[in-house]
Structure 1
Amino acid sequence: MLVSGSTRRSFLRAVGSGAAALSAAACTGFATSGNGGMIFLSTQFRPADEAERFRTLLAAAAPGVGYVTIEESPFASQVRSQVDAGATKIGLLGGLHGDLAPLADGYLEDLTGLLADFGARGWSAEYLKLAKVGTDRTWYIPWATASYVLAAHADALEHLPPGVDAASLTYDQFLDWAVAARRANGNRPVLGLPAGPKGLLHRFIQGFLLPSFTGGQITTFRSNEAVTAWQYLRELWANCVQSSTNFDFMQEPLDSGEARMAWDHVVRLVHAPERDPRDWRMLPAPRGAHGLGYMAVIAGLAIPKGSTDPELAQRTISTLTRPETQLRLLRSNGFFPAVDTAIPADLPPAVQLEADAVRKQQEAPGAILSLPPVGLGQREGEVSKVFKDSFRSIVLDGADIRSTLDQQARVLQGILDELKVPCWAPDPAAQLCQVG
């Protein structure tokens, strides 16, 4: 059954704003909200309404499983402390790649055989490679995914340069489009980017711009190609709506007409086309010299060492990764399937638009999968700040690009040296991540 528009707005707004999580762990153990049975500990669907919708799905799909949410920071420490003590109270784990990958060093069960038992469910080769975390074994099963795309209103689409395919843009064509739309609008820009205090522009730089221009994110951070990428972003910004520094969720300025084209997370775009979906298109991100860089938010399912019920955990993973259950999750909580399954035609039109764009982005020739930072824990915000500060200095304040990147590279390397973590996609997973 489709959720109502008001319900969708509620859960999507909660995702985007990072609403307060449910309390998951007490010093004496975990509460299961009355569901009882095996504990499924997860960093996903923490807002209360999302959690309850997922519990409803889970009760029908896997009876006897209690869903408990927890924030990312204490997630790994809870698992490690229980496994190290030989007193695991958890049966199943759910989290993003960055939540689960650091636990592959002795805290998760090997799921290679389980994956083989599932047969051809259509996971992408990239997702399966990530689930191996640089080893020859599978440590989690890909569960669900989300991404970021472009949104464009018909008013902006009118000014697409002749001969340009909106669904297969280069970055140069994207800039030309923004310039043409600005000129046609009385020299007032129509492109908006989420550069507000809670906006996700740093994800655009990390997962889209730099991989497309340089092929990497960290190992190419201060390369000559990175300088070119930042020069490009300066030009693009000159054709952005001036108030973009106030935009946190692009669906709001798109809906009001303050912007007519934008890039953002799918959750932060979906409301804009709800009233008149026929006037909107959702599009894959542009491509650069190295390919189409895009960031995927990938959630997985894992079994901790000493699981309280490994057989039920395996059955639950099997159920949650079946195509029909994946589509139920899309309808209820807005995350897209990780397996290859046809998206039904009776989805809300706005979600259908996004689903098509996400699929085209993933399947584009030369696509470069990027991930949010992995294994940084509470210090992830410091790494994101490096990209935010670089944007502020280079684009907003006009600082010299090379010297700014050199300075920020030292900050970034200092964080990585302290954490001693490998790089994450699209950079090679070297033992220690080195800023290049």
Structure 2
Amino acid sequence: MTLKFQFAGAVSGLALLVAATAAQAEVLFWSTQAKPVEEAQAVREQVLDGAGEVDYQPNDAGPWLTRLNAELKAGSGSIGLLGALHGDFSAMSTDDLVDLDELGLGAQSDTFNSLAQLGTDAKQYIPWMQASYIMAANTKALEHLPEGADINTLTYDQLIAWATNVKEATGSAKFGFPAGPKGLKHRFFQGYLYPSYTDGVVRTFASDKAVTAWEKMKELWAVTNPGSTNFSFLQEQLLNEDVWIAFDHTSRLAAAFNERPDDFVAFPAPAGPEGRGFMPVIAGIAIPRTAPDMEASKALIAHLMDPATQVATLRATNFFPVVDVDLPDDLPPSVKAAGNAVAIMSASPDANPGLLPAGLGNKGGDFNRVFVDTFERIVLAGQPIERVLEDQKKTLVRIMNDTGAPCWAPDAPSEGACPVE
């Protein structure tokens, strides 16, 4: 069976731009992505094959930004193309990036394309690749789905009903949640639960809608395997069948699909009253205003957005395509399963992405701890929701004021530190 990523971007001029690449000068591709030696080499040899003369140079965020800012300040430079996460671009002035609408390129997801505008009327970067968290289930669980439920369009209420049905049928709770010491539970609250129920993360932290979200989390926990406080990689529990339904990062579910591909299905996260909250890790490509050869930079973008190149990027980086591709049969089962789920989730009409926190510096761990502590106090310790939220709100306010970090989606933009309302 061929799985597809639907492509919503226009393709006019694509072939012309790709063909023009060979005639252009070398482009310095300055990136924060694919930094490990093996990945970087795979990008050079596979992803950039046929792209003309390209010098791919991945760096940590600090050196990446230092050199970029120096060139922007000087008014000229050698960087031809930028590769970075959405959060890196959102922290930049849009005056320093070239509008890219004229390329007619974009992602499958209208939501991603809108984010790429960075609050303007034109794309400031082109969505390039994506990763995310998804859900997985043993095929044994499918017969217990609530009547009329579709795993690709589940709601939280349907998920809870499903987990309840499985518990009643098997005599044990078989929903698995990564609540262990190394589990990614904080990302679930920040990118899934809060966006789905409050349409925010920071502004709405202690809102009435947040109270409802935590009430729903308590309902879900009642049908969750109690051993989840020790679960960090749900692939293990799926394989030993302590868990039949699970939420986790794609990489932490991979072994289950690769070892027993016929026994498991992957599907999008559920939706709440404010949409289908999910946390995409969106990487984009952009042209700085100081690029030495604009046409060469644009031709490289066209090459990177070509479906064949997107598949090569998947092989090299394990980041999924954002455009229409046929996934080859020789990809690992985990890639095909997760890729389909990610594509459906990001393109769903009710998609409501909760982006990775940005601008927190060394306070990122403290920010995550707020959500973990809230979970432990409300769900595990049974403390009153309103009291816990008001208490944790004080800590969150201090973190935001200390860092001055502005709001990120789905919170409404802010001038200065994102307020906790």
Q: Does 1:80 align with 2:69?
A: yes
**8 A Cα contact 1:98 1:372, kept in partner:** yes
TM-score by length of 2: 0.86
State the distance in 1 between where 2:359 and 2:131 align: 20
Secondary structure of the corresponding residue to residue 134 of structure 2: strand
Asked whether the equivalents of residues 76 and 291 of structure 2 are also in contact (C-alpha less than 8 Å), the reply is no
> Who is 1:302 aligned against?
286
Runs of 5+ in structure 2 lacking a partner? Answer: 1-24
**Equivalent position to 1:109, from 88, 97, 121:** 97
Cα offset, 1:153, TM superposition? 0.7
Distance in 1 (CA, whole Å) between partners of 2:362 and 2:52 is 34
Give the equivalent residue in structure 2 for 1:149.
134
Q: Distance in 1 between matches of 2:68 and 2:371?
A: 31
Unaligned runs of 5+ in 1: 1-35
Whether 1:425 aligns to 2:413 is no
Q: Which amino acid aligns with 1:313?
A: S
- What is the one-letter code of the residue matched to 1:67? Y
- Aligned residues of 1:75 and 1:99 also touching (Cα < 8 A): no
Whether 2:64 is the aligned partner of 1:64: answer no
Question: Given the alignment, which residue of 148, 151, 163 partners 1:178?
Answer: 163
Q: Residues 194-213 of structure 1: matches in 2 within 5 Å?
A: 194-213=178-197
Residue by residue over 1:232-272, the C-alpha shift from the partner in whole angstroms, topping out at 9 and shown as x without a partner, is 21222232223322322222322333322211122222221
Aligned counterpart, 2:312:
328
The answer as to 2:38 corresponding to 1:53 is no
Identify the residue that residue 242 of structure 1 maps to in structure 2: 226
Structure 2: distance between partners of 1:417 and 1:211: 22
Matched, 1:351 2:335: yes
Q: How many residues align?
A: 396
1:126 paired with 2:115, answer no
Report the alpha carbon displacement of residue 87 of structure 1 after superposing the two structures with TM: 6.7
Q: Are the aligned partners of 2:202 and 2:420 in contact in 1 as well (CA < 8 Å)?
A: yes
Change (3 A) 1:253 1:315: same
Structure-2 separation of matches of 1:85 and 1:399: 56
Q: Which residue of 2 aligns with 1:20?
A: none
Aligned to 2:200: 216
Q: How many Å apart are 1:209 and its aligned residue?
A: 0.9
Alignment match of 2:365 (pick from 381, 385, 402): 381
Residue equivalent to 2:31: 42
Q: How many Å separate the matches in 2 of 1:182 and 1:75?
A: 50
Divergent runs of 4+, >6 A: none
Corresponding residue to 2:394 among 410, 419, 426: 410
What is the rounded CA distance, in whole Å, between the counterparts of 1:226 and 1:125 in structure 2? Answer: 27
Cα distance change, pair 422–136 in 1 and its aligned pair in 2 (3 A): farther
Q: Aligned partner of 2:207: which letter?
A: S
Paired amino acid for 1:304: P
Separation in 2, partners of 1:124, 1:166: 20
Secondary structure of the residue that 1:337 maps to in structure 2?
coil
- Report percent identity of matched pairs: 42
Name the CA shift for 1:248/1:385 in 2 (closer, same or farther; >3 Å).
same
Higher relative contact order (CA 8 A, sep 6+): 2
Give the TM-score of the pair, scaled to structure 1.
0.83
Instruction: Tell me: CA distance 1:127–1:264, structure 2 relative to 1, closer, same or farther (3 Å).
Output: same
2:214 to 209, 215, 230: 230
